[in-house]
Amino acid sequence: MFKKLLFCALLVISLGLGSNIVLAADTIKVGAPLPMTGPYAGDGIGYYQGVKFAIDEINAAGGLLGKQLELIRFDTQDFAPERVMMAADQLIGQDKVDVIHAGWAGWGQDVRSYGKYDVPTFVLNASISAVNVFRENPQQYSNWFQMNDVERNLAIDLFDVMEQLPYEYPNKKIAVITADDSWGTESGTGVKDRAKEKGWKVVVDEVVPYGTREWGPILTKIRKTKPAWIYMEIVSAPDCITFFRQFMKAPTASLINLGYGISPPDVIGNLGDEGEGILGYFLGIPGPTAPNPKANAWLDQFRNKFNNEPAANTFPTYVGVKWWAEAVEKVGDVKAYKKICDYIASNPYMDIAGRKLWFDEDHKSPIQSWPMAHLQIQNGEMITIYTGPGKGYLDYKYKLPPWIKK
């Protein structure tokens, strides 16, 4: 009797508020386990903005299957295994979300945590450890989709582009500095292996913990060996910024490539013109001018909404939401998780930049599908200098860094 009275009361209240009210039962819940605090929080901003922008765009166009999307976040902090497991159990087990868009989610423990459910799960891992877990049981983990390639393949592409720069290197020596996580060490191994294949010598090889602020001992080795370029793979703005500023106190004639570490908004936000000449790479729409009018319009809308440039991870997370939404529309039932995942695995997706994207047998988007854009900080902006051979978009617009004298 009490339940009937409660229902009637709620119905009266909702009718009294008018037709604009959206009840929770009328929404499709989108789970976003993202690092909102901790060492990866800067990266989490880019993930969030990509997911948020896609959800707002879909809702403004009338929703998905006639329902509005509702974003539910969970702070994954430092991706500790227990935290990742808690995120999956909370968002799927308790909040009953119908999809996960996670950005960077972990290094294998995330596959098991989300794979025990059926809900489609999109991540931006670039993790061979996650791929290896997927390979243990592809049927069990068929709901798992990794929006880019693994660390080693990205690192090899980075090295090859660096070798092709229109620049005469003073020597064939490289310094490699990476974070002590799977992303950093796997990326570093890829660059070092490729360097040795191409006849380069690794003269500095350092693995450091997140939160490193004092770079004196490593810079001493760099100043002694004078490498032609320095590769640093640490996805932490304070680490990268402090390294660069201490390097600039007595710079060597070394190019600096921060890899994916250039992507957190705080890097360009803090360095600005000071970072002139730093290199890195990007997984989103190359900028500041995109390859076609539709993608340019997207960039303008994004800037107006968030008052910043998209981070490297923003566009892939945006695409993940749109790709999933297209699959749901085709299947016609947001709860038909298996059919949705089968559709995503079997059908490529055309993004607004005119690229055909797909997932391979490991449910990752290979670098041939999602090529990296290589960047350089010029005049306080991230400028795309290269998008891969044969892509027909940009030639090199590389500039010699000011600390290297002609």
- Determine the pLDDT at residue 7: 41
Mean pLDDT of the region 284-300: 80
Q: pLDDT tens across 310-326, in order? A: 877 889 999 999 999 99
The domains located in the chain, with CATH, are 14-148+301-357 (3.40.50.2300), 152-282+372-386 (3.40.50.2300)
The answer to whether 173 and 204 are in contact (CB under 8 A) is no
Q: pLDDT tens across 212-230, in order? A: 999 999 999 999 999 999 9
C-alpha to C-alpha distance for 345 and 339, rounded to whole angstroms:
10
Confidence band (pLDDT; 50, 70, 90) for 353?
A: confident
Q: How many Cα atoms within 13 Å fall on the side-chain side of residue 151? A: 25
Whole-Å CA distances, 334 to 15, 133, 194, 397: 27, 27, 44, 45
Bridge-based pairing state of the strands 99-101 and 144-146: unpaired
Tokens of 403: 């600390």
DSSP characters for 160-207? HHHHHSSS--S-SEEEEEEESSHHHHHHHHHHHHHHHHTT-EEEEEEE
C-alpha to C-alpha distance for 129 and 195, rounded to whole angstroms:
23
Q: pLDDT tens across 376-397, in order? A: 999 998 888 887 665 545 667 8
CA angle 102, 107, 113 (to 5 degrees): 60
Contacts of 247 (CB under 8 A, 6+ apart): 215, 219, 222, 230, 256
Q: Which amino acid is at 270?
A: N
Whole-Å CA distances, 151 to 13, 33, 125, 182, 195: 54, 21, 9, 9, 15
The 10 Å CB-count burial string (b at 16+, else e) for 322-335 is bbbbbbbeebeebe
C-alpha to C-alpha distance for 219 and 164, rounded to whole angstroms:
26
